[in-house]
Structure formats: structure tokens, C-alpha cells
């Protein structure tokens, strides 16, 4: 064991004072950051009133929205006529078409109708004087022969009684609303209804084998059009899913991102040479252009889109213009900073040969900056594919506007899911392609 005397200890402290005489910031900096973070978190909780926000939030809607993303419902309405007969009606745009005959709706010999909500465990039997709801292992009769529906016997927790109707909540499978003269049923199915062919198509409700047979070798459904062309038209013009309009708007979004980024890059490139101090020795011009870049990129792309939609009206032109203005500022700043950080030795070498300014830039500067500029531009293009979707929601065209319209109805969440998936696929493809190109240009390997 080595013993260090006082003189040796004093010598070590003198040689390494940063370890033995630490400042207040060095000793307590971590603790101060922790305390500041905690205080800021408490302030944020108070400022946004998070306890009240969480208490009043409609958490039940999360499950409803998620279920509607992956399912659809059919809503038969059973009307009890004055003569005791039961008339079955569907909404105008029912997924079952104009003449539905579902196997889950059965006409009984006694005149009643039984609807299977979920197999045999959840059913509804409707007669002229009584509706019986079976779920959770019990059957609950509801008398509808008097002035208001009345539950016979004890009321289970999944049934709610109102003044003029009784609501039975059957979970994800659906629900039943019972009144004196009608029973409204909502039956839920997993999947997307009529995604390929809508109810107006000649191929609607046909098995896949029959559809393929008609397309390949079947007789023409319309004498003046082949079955293949007819099938494509029916898919493209599907009235429920609007594939043609969705894909057109998606292509508009891609074009908006590409055109806006391209024009921004072409504009920012020459301006960056004028803004770079080491390229253009004019301090006033340098500062004016740099402040101009700051102004363009400090106004968010969404704000530019709002301005331009007021000027040119809704459409992809406003979206492309918003991206162009934002990218001119962003890429102008990136390009000018890249130019200011180049190695001046190649440039000076070319200049020493007596070459003209254009040739000096071409051979002394361009080989250094082109890979970096292209990489930065590709990254911005990839980012703008996502940004173009957002600005579309304010009227700048593209699939963003289509997505916003579907969300506003608060009923077409399966269409929202369809468009979100398309956007994710496009972003993934462009992200992968952009990364591959950037790595190739920079000479690095992808992992």
C-alpha cells in the first residue's frame, strides 16, 4: 500500500487543479439540470392543466376509431308495421347493395326475424310485440307493445334504458337500438367492404374465381367494352373507395414535393454563391441574402400554403409554391454554409493557372460541394413528401386535402386508414431510395 504525504498531495493538486478544485457548475451542474427539468415539467402540467385534460378526455373514442379503421358495419332497420308485419330496410349506400339477402338475417315461421350479431352468442329476435336480445349468456326480452319500450326483468349493465328507446351495447360486434315501432341494428364486420368492386359494379358480390373467369374468357358484359377494361374502370371509379381520385391526389402530392424542391434548389444554388463570404466578398450582399433565406424559412410551409391558397385558390400550384419558398430559404442557407466550409486549396490552385471565374468554380469548388448539395437536396425532397401531405389539408391540393375531407365526416375512418397506409408506403419508398442515393453519392455503405 502506497502512502502519499502532504507535500506529494499538494503537488498533485497543483498539477491537476481541474480534478481537485472543481467549479460550482462542475460540482452541481447535473443536479441543477435535474431540478430545472423537474420544475419545468411541473410548470407544463399546470400550464396545460393536464389533470383536467386527462380526466375530461374521451378515451372511449380511441377504441371506436381504431375499430372503424379495420372494420365496417351494416345497419339493417326492422320496422314494425301496423298489421304486425316486419319490414327490413337498409341505408341508401349499404355495403350489401340494393337487394341484400344476408344469411345472418333469418325469417322465422312465426313471422319474427332473428338477426345474428355475432354467431349464436349474440342475437336479436324481433316480433310485433317483443324484441329479445341475447348476449353474455342471457336473453333479455323488451316489451314494445305499449307506448314505450320496457325491459322485462332485471336490466343488465350492457343495456341502457332511455325514455323512448332501449340501447344494447354488444361491444365490438355492434349494438341494438329498440323503440316501439322499429329496431335499429349495427352489425360489425372485420375488413374493408367492397374495396375492389362497389355495389354498382357488374362484378359486385361475385366469387373471385367467377370474376377471373369473366375477365379471361367470359362473354362480354358490355358489348362495346372488354371485361378486363370494364373491371379496371369499376375498380378505378369505385364510388365508395374512390381509388382513382385517391391515387391521382397521391401522385399530385409526389409531384408537388418534387417540383417545389427542384425549383427551390435551382433558385438557391446561384444565390448561395452570392451569399457565401469566401466566394463573393461583398458583405452587404452576403448579409442581405442570408437574411432573405432566414425570412423564407422562418415562415412555416403551412403558413406559405395558407397565403398562396388565398392568392391562387386551392390546388397543387399553391402547394408547390409553398414548398418552393420554404426550400429556397432552407437550401440557400445549407448551400451557402457548405460553400463557406470548402477547402480553398483546390480553388486557389485552379485560379493560379489564370483560369476564368467560371472555370475556377467548375473545377475548384463544384467537385467538393456537389455530393453534399445533392445529399441535402434529396433529404429535403424526402421530407417534403411528408410536408406536402400536411399542407394539402389547408387546401393546397394532393392527398392531404382528401384525407382531411374523410376525417371531417367522422364516419369514413376506413378510408382514412387506406390513405394513411398509402402515404406510409410512399414515404417508406422515398426514404429508402433517398438514403440509398445519398450513401452512394457520399461513398458510404448502407447497413
Neighbours of 374 (CB within 10 A): 16
> For strand 71-74 and strand 150-151, is the pairing parallel, antiparallel, or unpaired?
unpaired
The whole-chain average pLDDT of the chain stands at 86
Highest mean pLDDT among 25-34, 181-190, 348-357: 181-190
Q: Give Cα separations from 86 to 23, 100, 110, 118, 168 (angstroms).
A: 87, 16, 12, 22, 20
d(CA 369, CA 357): 17
Specify the higher pLDDT residue, 298 or 408. 298
Residue 36: its pLDDT value, please? 93
Binned at pLDDT 50, 70 and 90, residue 119 comes out as: confident
Mean pLDDT of 7-23: 67
Q: Give Cα separations from 178 to 161, 166, 296 (angstroms).
A: 10, 5, 60
The answer to whether 420 and 411 are in contact (CB under 8 A) is no
Helices (H), 48-117: 50-56, 60-69
The answer to whether 194 and 97 are in contact (CB under 8 A) is no
Position 33 pLDDT exceeds 80? yes
Mean pLDDT of 286-298: 91
- Report the DSSP beta bridge partners of residue 182: 79
pTM of the model: 0.78
With both helix axes pointing from N to C terminus, report the angle between 227-236 and 243-275 in degrees, rounded to the nearest 10.
Answer: 60
Residue 282: its pLDDT value, please? 86
Q: What is the sign of the dihedral through the CA atoms of 170, 175, 180 and 181?
A: negative
Round to the nearest angstrom and report the end-to-end CA distance of the chain.
51
Binned at pLDDT 50, 70 and 90, residue 99 comes out as: confident
d(CA 131, CA 402): 42
Specify the higher pLDDT residue, 42 or 353. 42
Residue 5: its pLDDT value, please? 67
Residue 12: its pLDDT value, please? 67
Residue 412: its pLDDT value, please? 79
Amino acid at each position: 500500500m502506497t502512502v502519499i504525504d502532504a507535500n506529494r498531495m499538494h503537488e498533485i493538486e497543483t498539477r491537476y487543479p481541474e480534478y481537485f478544485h472543481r467549479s460550482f457548475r462542475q460540482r452541481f451542474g447535473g443536479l441543477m439540470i435535474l431540478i430545472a427539468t423537474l420544475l419545468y415539467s411541473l410548470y407544463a402540467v399546470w400550464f396545460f392543466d393536464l389533470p383536467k385534460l386527462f380526466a375530461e378526455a374521451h378515451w372511449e373514442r380511441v377504441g371506436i376509431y381504431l375499430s372503424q379503421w379495420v372494420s365496417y358495419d351494416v345497419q339493417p332497420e326492422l320496422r314494425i308495421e301496423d298489421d304486425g308485419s316486419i319490414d327490413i330496410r337498409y341505408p341508401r349506400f349499404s355495403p350489401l347493395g340494393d337487394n341484400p339477402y344476408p344469411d345472418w338475417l333469418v325469417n322465422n315461421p312465426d313471422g319474427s326475424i332473428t338477426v345474428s350479431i355475432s354467431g349464436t352468442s349474440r342475437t336479436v329476435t324481433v316480433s310485433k310485440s317483443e324484441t329479445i336480445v341475447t348476449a353474455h349468456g342471457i336473453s333479455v326480452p323488451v316489451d314494445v307493445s305499449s307506448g314505450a319500450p320496457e325491459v322485462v326483468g332485471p336490466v343488465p349493465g350492457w343495456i341502457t334504458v332511455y325514455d323512448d328507446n332501449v340501447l344494447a351495447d354488444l361491444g365490438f360486434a355492434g349494438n341494438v337500438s329498440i323503440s316501439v315501432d322499429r329496431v335499429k341494428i349495427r352489425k360489425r364486420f372485420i375488413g374493408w367492404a367492397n374495396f375492389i368492386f362497389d355495389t354498382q359494379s357488374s362484378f359486385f358480390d361475385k366469387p373471385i374465381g367467377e370474376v377471373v373467369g369473366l375477365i379471361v374468357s367470359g362473354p362480354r358484359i358490355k358489348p362495346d367494352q372488354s371485361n378486363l377494361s370494364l373491371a379496371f374502370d369499376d375498380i378505378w371509379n369505385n364510388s365508395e373507395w374512390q381509388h382513382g381520385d385517391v391515387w391521382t391526389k397521391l401522385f399530385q402530392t409526389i409531384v408537388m414535393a418534387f417540383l417545389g424542391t427542384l425549383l427551390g434548389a435551382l433558385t438557391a444554388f446561384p444565390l448561395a454563391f452570392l451569399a457565401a463570404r469566401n466566394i463573393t466578398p461583398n458583405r452587404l450582399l452576403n448579409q442581405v441574402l442570408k437574411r432573405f433565406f432566414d425570412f423564407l424559412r422562418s415562415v412555416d410551409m403551412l403558413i406559405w400554403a395558407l397565403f398562396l391558397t388565398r392568392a391562387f385558390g386551392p390546388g397543387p400550384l399553391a402547394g408547390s409554391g409553398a414548398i418552393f419558398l420554404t426550400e429556397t430559404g432552407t437550401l440557400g442557407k445549407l448551400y451557402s454554409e457548405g460553400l463557406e466550409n470548402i477547402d480553398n486549396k483546390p480553388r486557389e490552385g485552379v485560379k493560379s493557372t489564370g483560369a476564368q471565374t467560371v472555370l475556377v468554380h467548375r473545377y475548384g469548388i463544384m467537385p467538393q460541394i456537389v455530393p453534399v448539395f445533392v445529399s441535402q437536396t434529396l433529404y429535403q425532397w424526402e421530407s417534403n413528401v411528408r410536408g406536402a401531405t400536411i399542407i394539402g389539408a389547408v387546401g393546397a391540393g394532393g392527398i392531404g386535402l382528401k384525407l382531411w375531407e374523410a376525417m371531417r365526416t367522422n364516419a369514413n375512418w376506413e378510408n382514412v386508414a387506406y390513405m394513411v397506409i398509402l402515404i406510409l408506403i410512399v414515404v417508406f419508398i422515398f426514404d429508402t431510395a433517398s438514403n440509398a442515393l445519398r450513401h452512394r453519392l457520399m461513398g458510404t455503405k448502407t447497413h
